[in-house]
């Protein structure tokens, strides 16, 4: 077995079913990873390099279009404030992606990579908070929900190394 085979397998892992937040986080990280790879990709031909970046951008755009479609359904379980904020972010991603498709520079892709990483980080935290509440309630502790918004992640998710 080649020594790099385990490294390849870790990137082929897909989320298990039953947890939509983790599945969405995985999809965002996968799209961010592909955009990051397209930044470092150099085919020796400027057109081929741009085409690789555009392909990664289109994949990310499709993902955000799916989010947008889910958020516009009348019967959504997403709280109204989060739904509006996410739709606003979807609109920004749409506009930024159109500009990036015209001029796919590393800087334009990095903006989208950072958005994906931050949203994925937030999605990865959702089940942890819910599990902590249910564990505390099972033990008879009362946890009152906080009115303060959660703090944003302090560090970026590194998609190039194992978490």
Each residue of 113-137: pLDDT tens digit? 999 999 999 988 864 444 445 444 5
- Given a cut of 80, is residue 68 above it in pLDDT? yes
Which pLDDT belongs to residue 20?
85
CATH number of 18-128: 1.20.120
Q: What percent of the chain has pLDDT over 70?
A: 66
- Given a cut of 70, is residue 74 above it in pLDDT? yes
Tell me how long the chain is: 163
Q: Read off φ and ψ for residue 67, nearest 5 degrees.
A: -55, -45
CA distance 107 to 13: 28
Q: Do the Cβ atoms of 121 and 157 come closer than 8 Å?
A: yes
Which pLDDT belongs to residue 161?
45
Q: How confident is the model at residue 19 (pLDDT cuts 50, 70, 90)?
A: confident
Exposed, middle or buried, 33 (CB in 10 Å: 0-12/13-18/19+)? middle
What end-to-end distance do the CA atoms of the chain give, in Å? Answer: 23
> Residue 137 corresponds to which tokens in the numbers above?
């309630």
Each residue of 96-113: pLDDT tens digit? 999 999 999 999 999 999
> Residue 97 corresponds to which tokens in the numbers above?
């992606």
The residues near 129 (Cβ < 8 Å, ≥ 6 apart) are none
- Domain ranges across the chain: 18-128
């Amino acid at each position: 077995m080649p020594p790099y085979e385990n490294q390849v397998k870790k990137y082929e892992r897909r989320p298990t079913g039953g947890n939509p937040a983790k599945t969405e986080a995985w999809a965002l990280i996968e799209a961010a990873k592909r955009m990051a790879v397209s930044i470092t990709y150099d085919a020796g031909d400027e057109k081929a390099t741009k085409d690789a970046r555009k392909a990664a951008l289109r994949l990310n755009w499709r993902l955000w279009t799916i989010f947008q479609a889910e958020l516009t359904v009348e019967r959504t379980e997403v709280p109204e404030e989060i739904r509006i904020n996410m739709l606003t972010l979807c609109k920004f991603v749409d506009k930024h992606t159109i500009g990036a498709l015209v001029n796919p520079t590393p800087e334009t892709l990095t903006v989208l990579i950072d958005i994906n990483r931050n949203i994925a980080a937030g999605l990865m935290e959702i089940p942890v908070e819910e599990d902590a509440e249910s564990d505390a309630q099972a033990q008879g502790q009362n946890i009152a929900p906080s009115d303060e918004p959660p703090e944003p992640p302090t560090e970026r998710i590194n998609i190039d190394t194992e978490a």
